[in-house]
Homo-oligomer: A and B are copies of this chain.
Amino acid sequence: MATTETTERRRAESPARRRAESPARRRILDTAGALFYAEGIHTVGIDRVIAEAGVAKATFYHHFPSKDELVRAYVQEQSDRVHATTVVRGDTPQERILSVFDDLGDFICGPGFRGCAFVNAAAEYPDPDHPVRRVVAEHRAWFHGILRDLLTEAGRSEADADRTATMLTMLRDGLVVAGDLDDPAATRALAREAVTRLLA
């Protein structure tokens, strides 16, 4: 092994990423995340991101080859964050499914909620082959998979679990959209009942 200790440690810290974390990169990603989510992607320029991140322009282009790549990283990080914070609770499969939607209900009622980052990003990137859309598709497949597994656990057939998981994923989309466009609290209040009905 000819690689240095630091390189080793870097690789160990973030095995999936080639480039290691750096404070500047972190600041860029945090700032971009907040701005893109709150105000939309195309409305927020690079100049704005680097200004609010307190970073030089050259530094930005050192870490990201283009704005598109930053957007991709933003969506990817949203997905990573959801993965990391999703904790399925409950004893029975039904309770575990409900817990997922309970968290979703809290999410849409939380401060600064502005719709689903994935749905919103997809709205600004129509091309289905765009990297951003691919990340969104992956995230949706992941969410669907969680529900499908829980439904299989609950004793449903593979086909039924798949179909019901798809319906629950649609409900998820409906919740985040309605939470943004209508009353979040009223939306949350109906989540459990909607899930229960779809599970019937």
Q: Which of B133, B137, B178, B186 contacts A173 (CB 8 A)?
A: B178
- The yes or no answer to A51 lying at the interface (CB within 8 A) is no
A85-123 at interface with B (beta carbon < 8 Å): 114-115, 118-120, 122-123
Q: Is the pair A190, B163 in contact by a Cβ cutoff of 8 Å?
A: yes
Task: Tell me, in angstroms, the Cα distance from A174 to B114 when the chains sit together.
Answer: 17
Chain B residue contacts of A137, Cβ below 8 A: 181-182
Contact with B along A157-200 (1 / 0, CB 8 A): 00000010011011111110110111000110010011001101
Task: Tell me, in angstroms, the Cα distance from A3 to B184 when the chains sit together.
Answer: 49
Chain A residues at the B interface, C-beta cutoff of 8 Å: 38-40, 42-43, 114-115, 118-120, 122-126, 133, 136-137, 140, 163, 166-167, 169-175, 177-178, 180-182, 186-187, 190, 193-194, 197-198, 200
Query: Can you list 5 contacts pairing A with B, beta carbon distance less than 8 Å?
Result: A40-B124, A40-B126, A42-B43, A137-B181, A166-B178
